[in-house]
Amino acid sequence: MASARVLFFGLTGAFSRTALRVLLEGGAEIVGVVAPEANLTTPIRPLPPPTAVSQLPILNPFAASTILELAWAQNIPVFQLRQPAHADSLAMLAELGADTAVAACCNQKIPPKLLALPRHGFLNIHPSPLPAYRGIAPLFWQLRAGETQTGVTVHWMDEGLDTGDIAAQTAVPFPEGASGKELDNLLAAEGAKLACRLLPQLDSAPRRPQPPGGSVQPAPTAADFRLDLNWSARRAFNFMRGTDDWGRPYPVTIGGKTRRLATAVSYEADGALDESVVVDGRDVWVQFQPGALRVMAPSS
């Protein structure tokens, strides 16, 4: 097929925005953008722009701040969705005549009737090398595990949680000290590029069952931000940098005392301190195994 009509599902954060932007830049024909909205009084509603949105970022610097503004700037219909399985929702989305849907960080479960609405089904961009790290917050759990390489998978969605057949997959090294937003942008862009290659060949696109095994992680809790002094300083540094946007403190127990750390600044891979922790105001050095990590303590 020369040009697939694509319905895009996503949230308003960096991962969804970057995926949509790269799809558009790659020539994908986006016929609608759908964002979950729990506070609607109707199952679904079209969402027109609040005012005329300029397509010139220099005139309107917020034109692409979320998938909503990005869609409005391209005259793409936007929909807020509360009940994906409702007949009104299905009827309104069916009118768009999508050949397929692409999801990038969608927090709603897609019911079977909606999965079957596009004639080629749904593709999902997932920031992990499936079947490993299924579920929400896969980047968090990879960083916590000390992974040095991640990946992105584009898979066909089914009724399970990230269990559908793999359409495309690529490995991506974790950049040193990358922030969560940088990682979201990197992996969303790589995933959207894979999706762009699939769209012209949906009739023959791969459908490779996921191998057995894999893993599923829950939503992180406050306890999951705790640092382990047996980690290397590099592992602690990358974990803190990559999850800093969660806005949580990082507890660590040193000599029986729990300290709460805020921001990773740098590390010395072979650094050896005279003491387990060296404090100079908010500037703190902590000994790991191996290496020393420089962090900032919380301001209060």
220-268 pLDDT, tens per residue? 999 999 999 999 999 999 999 999 999 999 999 999 999 999 999 999 9
The label of the residue with tokens 């942008």 reads 185
199: CB partners within 8 A, 6+ apart: 3, 4, 6, 28, 100
* pTM, entire model: 0.92
Residues of the chain by 3-state class (helix, strand, coil), percent to 5: 25, 25, 45
Q: Classify residue 150 as exposed, middle or buried by CB count within 10 Å of its CB (0-12, 13-18, 19+).
A: buried
Q: Give the model's pLDDT for residue 2.
A: 54
pLDDT for 106-115, tens place per residue?
Answer: 888 899 999 9
pLDDT for 82-141, tens place per residue?
Answer: 999 999 999 999 999 999 999 999 888 899 999 999 999 999 999 999 999 999 999 999
Beta-ladder partners of 152: 170
**Alpha carbon distance 150, 220 (integer Å):** 18
pLDDT for 134-149, tens place per residue?
Answer: 999 999 999 999 999 9
Q: Class of the 222-296 domain?
A: alpha beta
Q: Give the model's pLDDT for residue 55.
A: 52
**Alpha carbon distance 148, 172 (integer Å):** 9
CATH code, residues 5-216: 3.40.50.170
**Alpha carbon distance 70, 76 (integer Å):** 9
**Domain ranges for the chain:** 5-216, 222-296
* DSSP calls for 277-296: EEEETTEEEEE-SS-EEEEE
DSSP-based three-state secondary structure for 225: helix
